[in-house]
Amino acid sequence: MAQQSEWEPKLLGFLCRWCSYAGADLAGTSRKKYPANIRAIKVPCSSRVDSLLIIKALRLGFDGVLVSGCHPGDCHYLTGNYRARRRIAITKKFLEYLGVEPERLQASWVSASEGGKFAEVVTEVTKGLKEVGPNQLFSERKLDGTKTKAGS
Amino acid sequence: MTVADTNQEFFAQGNVYLPHIAVIEKIVEETPGVRTYHFNFKDEKLRKEFTFQSGQFAQYSVLGTGEATFCISSSPTRRDHLEFAAQRVGKVTNALNRLGVGAEIGFRGPYGNSFPIDSLKDKNLVFVGGGIGLAPLRSLIWNVLDYRDKYKKIDIVYGARTPADLCFKYDLEAWDKDKTVNMVTTVDRGDDGWKGKVGVVPKILEEVAPSAGESVAIVCGPPIMIRFTFPALEKLGFKPEQMLTTLEKRMKCGIGKCGRCNIGNLYVCRDGPVFSYAQIKDFVSSEY
Amino acid sequence: MEQKLRQEAKALLEQNKVDWIIGFEPGSLKFTATPLITRDKNDTERLIINPFIVNNLADFLTGIKGRVGIVAKGCDSRSIISLIQDNKIVREDVVILAVPCPGLIDLVKIERLAGKDRDELDDISRDGDKVTVTVDGQKKEFAINQTLFDHCLACELPTPQEYDILLGEPGPPAPELEVSGQNIAKLKEALPAERWEFWQNEFSRCIRCYACRNACPACFCQRCFVEETEPQWVMPVPRWQDNLIFQIIRNIHVAGRCTDCGECERVCPVNIPLRSLAREMYGIVDELFSFKSGMDKEALPLMAHYEQEEAEDLFK
Amino acid sequence: MADKKVGKKDIAGLLEQWSQQFAVFAPSKESGVAAMAEWDGKDISFLDWYRNTVVPPKAIFLPPMEELFRFQKGKEGYNIEPPPKDKHKRLIFGVRPCDARAMAILDMTFEQALEDPYYLSRRKSAILVGLGCTNPCESCFCTSMGTSPTDQTNVDLMLIDIGDDFLIEEVTAKGKELIAKTSGLKGATKEDEAKAKQAKETAYNKVTRKLDTEGIKDRLLASFDDEEFWEKTAAKCISCGICTLLCPTCYCFDINDEMVKQEGTRFRSWDSCGFPNYTKMPMENPRQEKWRRVRQKVCHKYEFYPMTFNVIACTGCGRCIRLCPVNWDITQVIESVPARTEAKK
């Protein structure tokens, strides 16, 4: 992690279109400062985010994933974020057990009016990612000699 | 007629798995979902020297997406370019559909045997095709028409689900105009403008009733059509040896190694794709 | 117990109460039983119950048409209930022939204890808390807890709660949770990077035979995400990255359905400690949502249900 | 006959010597499963535990996955980058006769018609050093499948356990040449040869599982349309790939592309006729039902392969029986194929 000073983490955000995506917009229009590390994907609801999307993002080399939806009780579809909460909770705990740094999967509740909170969350998550460094989870590293050159 | 005769010199760098790069020169929209791709090799030498026979197929790739199997649908007698037709149904064909003129594709082939063109000479030929199954037949039909005097009577029975699903309409028109060809086009369901026959191919074939003597029937279409066409031909007096078909199966290697395209002990890629009904009748009822 | 099972199973078929019987018959190798799936009443004569009836027979329920009489150990019964919860099967279509299970003998452990492969052993017999293994005419005795599968040591339901016919007397649960959870506890002591590397190594030998998925009663999807090509979520190539992703997602997808029956680990031909993943997920689900799969057929599936307040500490 | 022998305790030295010239592979459990792995230079403990590997030695020649080629997309279009030439010469130590026979069966497929350069380049330069079984498994039925625990037919050298030593049988010219260049071997005596003969007989008799394959090709052909038989046979199969992927004579593979940004790779990887997707075409699948796939697996080995190559594609190694999660037993299946059925149309 020698080049940490120049390195900027890449964060992928899955933002619910009804709240967090609007919250991100608001943060922009009201000139709240937050790191430019996040790339946002608009999703219809935080419950749209299957764990596959999260893992795939990490596989593709994103350093972290942020899933953000409406506050519990405020879901446009009434119960979507409750379901998202269960799924993200088990995914987060399970990835942690496997050895994925907890900073790499973050989740938050940000409403359409919380531009400030959105900026804070992204700042905090980006800071966390800078601390854990680049995502090398799926990069080809030394493996014990099971698949050697002559073996394949 | 076996794979062993296939032109080894056409392997890219001596390795049968490496594709040649070809460039799409023209795209013809046949029906909604079916396109014919005209292409040519990037390599000048190969463009000149490449040869194949009617009935052979190749592995085409959209590099990065994968490979799919299509027959070469143009005639070896018309070699300014090559053609294949693909229906948009899966991962590779969807990727192909996103390509435009000038895009590069990978090509491995030609693979497989071919229609036994020498043994068709001085015979009556009955072509029975359905949907995109006309693709391999048209290679042979043009091949035959370019040497028309070597063959006797030619019947073509071709059908599709609806008039909109008829492929190679420009060919159908040309054959219809050709006085030396008896061209019958049919659809399962007609529409207001449809003036041709209505009915499934095996039924229309029985109506057309080509004589079995001195004849060879060449059949290609969806499996369901093939399954019903053989009995129809048998009724007309055709013997299993007089019925040829070209089969389609999922393939990966194209050269008889990857295992998946077999019908009984025969591999479609290695022993086919052209088979006589006599060869496959033991297995075709339950495996195709 | 076996006699009663044979009678009951035969009667079920004879009286046309079921179309199929799923149970066990003697296997073709020493110390094995093999699933018997039949509509023929004469086959019921071959039904057996012994400490080697390892398969989770609930796996066959989603692939079968008609009413089924099924031999179920505690763990199998939980899988059956889980399938009922998910509306994959209808309770009325299943006749549960409940087997009180005192735990299944793990031949891998026996081999390790005896220092011989299973086919070199003359006999394995159980008497209460002792297991006697005979090798070359010599008897060796082991405590039962040394010889049972890990998942049996963690068994919470040796005798099915939900059944139609009970064979034999219900036994007490024999949990040895500490022994059962040893592997996981040891892993948790390691640093995150070490844990990841551990899994990386384990999954580098996965050959993608999908036995873990196919033996799992909770993996009932008609089409699995690994077989999707548009988009291609994972490559169908046995690279450790794709292997690991496959297994991570599989575990997440069966969370709340997995009953810790241990089949995934047992069937793995290349010895990947899959239960150390499944059991941890089982624990996570229990810890976060106090949910145990396959215990109550009236309960809603894990992901079809929620509480107002839960897991909030994981969210910003 | 001037056979040589080598002391069991000198095996490490022998492998060491061969390592100078070859990439030596030997049985190993290092990776967590018994497989042929590149020899680490010292460990010969496999002599104590080795009966057969779980992963068959075919994995060295047809690995679970390999890169067929890489490609790049640039301004000038695609560039295909062929794989580097395989320069390794491999020596596989401890191949069992069943697996050696399986290699010969695989060769037929990869050599026929258009040659497979990946498999063959590895295979042609390799030396197989066989190791006769002294302790066959309960699931083994090699003696019914044209080979035996000590059959030397398909290896270059064959080692027979004669107590403290292995008797070395020099089978091929390649094997003879290697032995001629190998130092530290002892000459075998008449007594050693007698011991070897005895060992072979003992091992042969230890294979108790028998399979009668008389007329199997015809029986299978007659039963091809017997749906009831195949459904019953397939009932307990869970359609996993263990019995095929880990079969030493199964060669089916899949080809897939992966592309990240402008760089791509085409992979070949093991595939199995047990998987529904194996024959799936977008519009239909000729083997959607499980019994059709099970039928394909059985018929391919016992009917189609004999029709094409005149040899049953099964060597009785018993892996499919040992490793099957549901104890689906090929020998029971073959024996239960009806002698004659009224084929239903």
Provide the residue ranges of all domains of chain C, joining segments of one domain with +: 2-104+148-314, 105-147
pLDDT value, residue B12: 64
Beta-carbon contacts of B46 under 8 Å, excluding residues fewer than 6 positions away, are B10, B20
Torsional class of D344: left (φ above 0), alpha (ψ -120 to 50), beta (otherwise): beta
Task: Report the gap between the CA of B90 and the closest CA in chain C (Å).
Answer: 8
CA gap B203, B187 in Å, rounded = 11
Average pLDDT of the residues in B102-129 = 94
Mean of the per-residue pLDDT values of chain A:
89
Residues D321, C270: C-beta atoms closer than 8 Å: no
Average pLDDT of the residues in D166-177 = 95
CA gap D312, D315 in Å, rounded = 8
Nearest alpha carbon to residue C201 among C185, C180, C187: C187
D149: confidence class by pLDDT, cuts 50, 70, 90: very high
Residue B88, number of CB atoms within 10 A of its CB: 16
Please check whether residue A138 touches C, CB under 8 A: yes
Residues A85, C306: C-beta atoms closer than 8 Å: yes
> Among the CATH numbers 3.30.460.80, 3.40.50.300, 3.90.1150.10, 3.40.50.80, which is that of B117-246?
3.40.50.80
pLDDT tens per residue, range B54-65: 999 999 999 999
Q: Is residue D342 assigned to a domain?
A: no
Rg (CA), chain D: 22
pLDDT tens per residue, range C263-299: 999 999 999 999 999 999 999 999 999 999 999 988 9
Residue A68, number of CB atoms within 10 A of its CB: 31
Q: Tell me the three state secondary structure of residue C84.
A: helix
Q: Is the pLDDT of residue C21 over 90?
A: yes
pLDDT value, residue B113: 93
Q: Within this chain, do residues D119 and D264 fall inside the same structural domain, yes or no? A: no
Query: Do D132 and D201 contact (CB within 8 A), yes or no?
Result: no
D340: confidence class by pLDDT, cuts 50, 70, 90: low
Average pLDDT of the residues in B89-107 = 94
Q: Within this chain, do residues D30 and D165 fall inside the same structural domain, yes or no? A: yes
Task: Report the gap between the CA of C62 and the closest CA in chain B (Å).
Answer: 25
Q: Domain A8-132 in CATH: superfamily?
A: Lumazine/riboflavin synthase (3.40.50.960)
C181: confidence class by pLDDT, cuts 50, 70, 90: confident
Contact partners for chain D, using 3 or more CB pairs closer than 8 A, are A, B, C
Q: Among D156, D188, D206, which residue terminates a domain?
A: D206
pLDDT value, residue B10: 59
Task: Report the gap between the CA of C307 and the closest CA in chain A (Å).
Answer: 8
Q: Within this chain, do residues D241 and D162 fall inside the same structural domain, yes or no? A: no
Domain hosting residue D247, numbered range? 216-336
**D267 neighbourhood in chain C, CB within 8 Å:** 235, 237
Residues D38, A148: C-beta atoms closer than 8 Å: yes
**B91 neighbourhood in chain C, CB within 8 Å:** 229-230, 232
Q: Of C29, C236, C263, which is closest to D256 when you measure between CB atoms?
A: C236
CA gap B7, C101 in Å, rounded = 65
Q: Two tokens at B154?
A: 């030619």
pLDDT value, residue A145: 39
Q: Is the pLDDT of residue D330 over 70?
A: yes
CA gap A92, A100 in Å, rounded = 9
pLDDT value, residue B7: 47
Q: What is the 3-state secondary structure (H, E, C) of B19-32?
A: CEEEEEEEEEEEEC
Touch of A by D (3+ CB pairs closer than 8 Å): yes
**D225 neighbourhood in chain B, CB within 8 Å:** 285-286
Touch of B by C (3+ CB pairs closer than 8 Å): yes
Residues C302, A86: C-beta atoms closer than 8 Å: yes
Nearest alpha carbon to residue B266 among B240, B242, B287, B241: B287
CA gap C248, C233 in Å, rounded = 13
**D40 neighbourhood in chain A, CB within 8 Å:** 145
Residues A99, C199: C-beta atoms closer than 8 Å: yes
Contact partners for chain A, using 3 or more CB pairs closer than 8 A, are C, D
Percent of chain C with pLDDT over 70: 99
Q: Within this chain, do residues D138 and D221 fall inside the same structural domain, yes or no? A: no
Q: Of A55, A82, A144, which is closest to C306 when you measure between CB atoms?
A: A82
Q: Is residue D153 assigned to a domain?
A: yes
Nearest alpha carbon to residue C56 among C316, C293, C301, C271: C293
**C230 neighbourhood in chain B, CB within 8 Å:** 91, 94
Q: Positive or negative, the Cα torsion across C37, D217, D227, D105?
A: positive
Q: Which segments of chain C are extended strands (E)?
A: 20-26, 33-38, 68-72, 94-98, 123-127, 130-135, 138-143, 165-166
Name the β-bridge partners of B182.
B155
pLDDT tens per residue, range C117-154: 999 999 999 988 899 999 999 999 999 989 999 999 99
Average pLDDT of the residues in B189-197 = 87
Residues D65, C237: C-beta atoms closer than 8 Å: yes
* CATH 2.40.30.10 domain position(s) in chain B: 3-111
Q: Within this chain, do residues D191 and D220 fall inside the same structural domain, yes or no? A: no
Looking at chain A, list the stretches that DSSP marks H as alpha helix, in order from N- to C-terminal side.
Answer: 20-29, 51-59, 80-98, 115-132
Q: Which of B1-10, B119-128, C182-191, C224-233 has the lowest mean pLDDT?
A: B1-10
Average pLDDT of the residues in C35-49 = 96
Task: Report the gap between the CA of C231 and the closest CA in chain B (Å).
Answer: 9
Our count of domains for chain D comes to 2
Task: Report the gap between the CA of C216 and the closest CA in chain D (Å).
Answer: 10
Name the β-bridge partners of B62.
B66
pLDDT tens per residue, range B137-184: 999 999 999 999 999 999 999 999 999 999 999 999 999 999 999 999
Q: Is the pLDDT of residue C169 over 50?
A: yes
**A125 neighbourhood in chain C, CB within 8 Å:** 316
Q: Does domain B3-111 have CATH number 2.40.30.10?
A: yes
Q: Is the pLDDT of residue D96 over 80?
A: yes
User: Distances in Å between the alpha carbon of B48 and those of B14, B44, B108, B114, D319?
Assistant: 18, 7, 16, 21, 52
Q: Is residue D9 assigned to a domain?
A: yes
Q: Which of A17-26, C251-260, D333-342 has the lowest mean pLDDT?
A: D333-342
ipTM computed for the complex: 0.91
Q: Tell me the three state secondary structure of residue D82.
A: coil
Q: Does domain C105-147 have CATH number 3.30.70?
A: no
Preferred mutation among D110, D245, D255, D305 to probe B, highest tally of B CBs within 10 A = D255
A121 burial class (0-12, 13-18, 19+ CB within 10 angstroms)?
buried
Question: Which one is predicted more confidently, C171 or C51?
Answer: C51
Buried b / exposed e over B90-128, threshold 16 CB at 10 Å, is bbbbbbbbeeeeebbbbbbbbbbbbbebeebeebbbbbb
Largest CA distance in chain D: 73
Q: Among D162, D184, D206, which residue terminates a domain?
A: D206
What residue ranges of chain A have pLDDT lower than 70? Answer: 1-5, 141-152
Q: Tell me the three state secondary structure of residue B206.
A: helix
Structural domain boundaries in chain A: 8-132
Percent of chain D with pLDDT over 70: 98
Q: Within this chain, do residues D176 and D250 fall inside the same structural domain, yes or no? A: no
Mean of the per-residue pLDDT values of chain C:
93
pLDDT value, residue D129: 97
Q: Is the pLDDT of residue D344 over 70?
A: no
Q: Within this chain, do residues D151 and D233 fall inside the same structural domain, yes or no? A: no
C173: confidence class by pLDDT, cuts 50, 70, 90: low
Q: Within this chain, do residues D12 and D60 fall inside the same structural domain, yes or no? A: yes
Touch of C by A (3+ CB pairs closer than 8 Å): yes
pLDDT tens per residue, range B14-29: 789 999 999 999 999 9
Q: Is residue D98 assigned to a domain?
A: yes
Residues A145, D40: C-beta atoms closer than 8 Å: yes
Please check whether residue C225 touches D, CB under 8 A: no
D114: confidence class by pLDDT, cuts 50, 70, 90: confident
